[in-house]
């Protein structure tokens, strides 16, 4: 635990902190146990490391000169936690099991000068943690396991997109696999401060980030569409790319830079990457096609919604119902992108045409492998691993 963390034994909303689960740039996640029922939960505290300090009485306050950034993230964290909580409640009322792919939010509240989001505790492992173990046992991720992950994540994203919430950070460490094998999306993009912030520097290395998530002033691309469902679709497609081909494509900014400089996008179609990495597996054609479509560099070339994306799987997974959510009509995608794009100039608008493909570095192998090991803890996917 760092000094910033709440000490073990801290009591919050009937829960007692019993350890830290993780600390990211914008929050600290704790494991808690409820005083009465002795049930476990996870508690995420809004604590933007660059902008906040812990003071007396465990109070969190903005660092000098960081009030605006702190407040902006605070509001975003609270709003999105409340939205996700509402979604959880609605799913419960509808008695639907279809929220299983989303972490369930127990409540959001303000204390210590900051915001807390109390969640169900997921008994499992994050996807990135155990792939290496998996690949010691199996040469590739079974197609059905990849499809199960795709299905669960598309359904989860569909639910939050209908509430006008974007995840913005879909990646293996933000996907947990329950002991019964069910994938669950965690760590929503709440509290990512927008604008010209130093935190954006960490985004440049994001291997799963779409081009529109990189600040336009750094890429010179106008990002006319801004962020939207297509942004999460890109990240999920990169996760799937990695699962089936065991290495990542060149990151979006690298692709854009290469396209501008050399007129070629170094993206290697997933089929070619599977061959290159000598993976002997028969993944269905529509799955591979869907991955390539979702990995398109430009937002406008990708499916606009997860419903549309699901149809690219051509029946391999059940298409997402385009209209199940009561608030679907309210979705406008008019929210401000994470970073404001400068006015498009002729230079930034131009899309160089690809000449040919070039090699993409083999990277991130260890990550891929975890999927099934984690899934192997039990449940449907366990069966695939032990065949």
Ligand X SMILES: Nc1ncnc2c1ncn2[C@@H]1O[C@H](COP(=O)(O)OP(=O)(O)O)[C@@H](O)[C@H]1O
β-strand partners of 20: 30
Contact segment (CB under 6 A) with ligand X among 26-34, 73-81, 106-114, 355-363 equals 26-34
Q: What is the C-alpha to C-alpha distance for residues 341 and 73, in angstroms, rounded to an integer?
A: 20
| Total chain residues near ligand X (CB under 6 A) | 19
What are 208's two structure tokens? Answer: 């799963």
User: Is residue 187 a contact residue for ligand X (CB under 6 A)?
Assistant: yes
| H helix intervals, 130-170 | 131-137, 143-162
CA distances from 277 to 239, 242, 272 (A): 16, 11, 9
CB 54 within 8 A of CB 38: no
Q: Choose which of 10, 18, 173, 264 interacts with ligand X (CB under 6 A).
A: 173
Q: Which residue lies nearer to Mg ion by CB, 190 or 216?
A: 190
Q: What is the C-alpha to C-alpha distance for residues 171 and 322, in angstroms, rounded to an integer?
A: 24
| CA nearest neighbour of 235 among 298, 289, 294 | 294
**On the CB side of 314, how many CA atoms lie within 13 Å of its CA?**
8
Q: Choose which of 32, 104, 114, 174 interacts with Mg ion (CB under 5 A).
A: 174
Least separation in angstroms between CB 129 and Mg ion: 12
Binding-site partner at residue 27 among ligand X, Mg ion, none, CB < 5 to 8 Å by type:
ligand X
Residue with tokens 């409820």: 34
Q: Please identify the residue of the shown chain whose CB is closest to the bound Mg ion.
A: 187
User: Is residue 21 a contact residue for ligand X (CB under 6 A)?
Assistant: yes
Q: Which residue lies nearer to ligand X by CB, 119 or 288?
A: 119
CB 244 within 8 A of CB 141: yes
Q: Which residue lies nearer to Mg ion by CB, 187 or 232?
A: 187
Other Cβ atoms less than 10 A from the Cβ of 224: the count is 14
Q: Which residue lies nearer to ligand X by CB, 243 or 258?
A: 243
Q: Choose which of 80, 163, 187, 307 interacts with Mg ion (CB under 5 A).
A: 187
User: Is residue 18 a contact residue for ligand X (CB under 6 A)?
Assistant: no
Contact segment (CB under 6 A) with ligand X among 3-11, 79-87, 89-97, 119-127 equals 119-127
Please give the distance of CA 120 from its chain centroid, rounded to a whole number: 18
User: Is residue 107 a contact residue for ligand X (CB under 6 A)?
Assistant: no
Q: What is the C-alpha to C-alpha distance for residues 71 and 25, in angstroms, rounded to an integer?
A: 15
Least separation in angstroms between CB 42 and ligand X: 3
CB 239 within 8 A of CB 207: no
Residue with tokens 């914008």: 26
Least separation in angstroms between CB 119 and Mg ion: 13
User: Is residue 340 a contact residue for ligand X (CB under 6 A)?
Assistant: no
Q: Which residue lies nearer to ligand X by CB, 157 or 297?
A: 157
Q: Which residue lies nearer to ligand X by CB, 30 or 298?
A: 30
Q: Which residue lies nearer to Mg ion by CB, 163 or 187?
A: 187
Q: Which residues are at the interface with ligand X (CB under 6 A)?
A: 21-24, 26-27, 29, 42, 44, 103, 119-122, 126, 173-174, 186-187
């Amino acid at each position: 635990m760092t000094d910033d963390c709440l000490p073990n034994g801290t009591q919050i909303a009937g829960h007692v902190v019993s350890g830290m689960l993780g600390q990211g740039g914008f929050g600290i996640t704790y494991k808690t146990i409820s005083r009465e029922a002795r049930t476990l939960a996870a508690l995420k505290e809004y604590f933007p490391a660059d902008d906040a300090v812990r003071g007396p009485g465990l109070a969190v306050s903005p660092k000098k000169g960081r009030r605006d950034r702190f407040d902006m993230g605070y509001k975003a964290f609270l709003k999105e936690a409340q939205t996700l909580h509402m979604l959880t409640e609605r799913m419960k009322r509808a008695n639907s099991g279809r929220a299983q792919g989303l972490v369930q939010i127990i409540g959001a509240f303000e204390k210590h000068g900051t915001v807390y989001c109390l969640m169900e505790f997921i008994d499992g492992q994050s996807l990135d943690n155990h792939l290496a173990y998996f690949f010691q046992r199996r040469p590739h991720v079974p197609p059905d396991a990849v499809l199960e992950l795709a299905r669960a994540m598309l359904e989860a994203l569909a639910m939050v997109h209908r509430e006008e919430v974007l995840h913005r950070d879909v990646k293996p460490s933000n996907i947990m696999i329950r002991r019964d094998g069910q994938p669950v999306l965690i760590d929503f993009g709440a509290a990512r401060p927008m604008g010209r912030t130093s935190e954006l520097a960490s985004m440049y290395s994001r291997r799963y980030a779409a081009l529109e998530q990189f600040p336009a002033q750094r890429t010179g691309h106008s990002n006319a569409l801004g962020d939207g469902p297509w942004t999460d679709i890109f990240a999920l497609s990169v996760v799937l790319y990695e699962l089936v081909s065991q290495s990542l494509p060149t990151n979006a900014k690298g692709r854009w830079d290469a396209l501008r400089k050399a007129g070629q996008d170094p993206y290697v179609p997933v089929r070619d990457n599977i061959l290159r990495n000598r993976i002997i597996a028969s993944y269905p054609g529509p799955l591979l096609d869907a991955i390539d479509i979702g990995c398109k560099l430009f937002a406008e070339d990708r499916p606009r919604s997860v419903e549309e994306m699901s149809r690219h799987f051509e029946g391999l997974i059940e298409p997402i119902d385009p209209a199940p959510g009561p608030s679907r009509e309210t979705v406008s995608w008019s929210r401000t992108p994470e970073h404001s794009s400068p006015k498009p100039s002729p230079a930034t608008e131009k899309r160089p045409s690809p000449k040919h493909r070039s090699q993409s570095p083999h990277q991130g192998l260890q990550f891929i492998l975890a999927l099934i090991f984690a899934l192997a803890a039990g449940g449907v996917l366990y069966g695939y691993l032990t065949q």
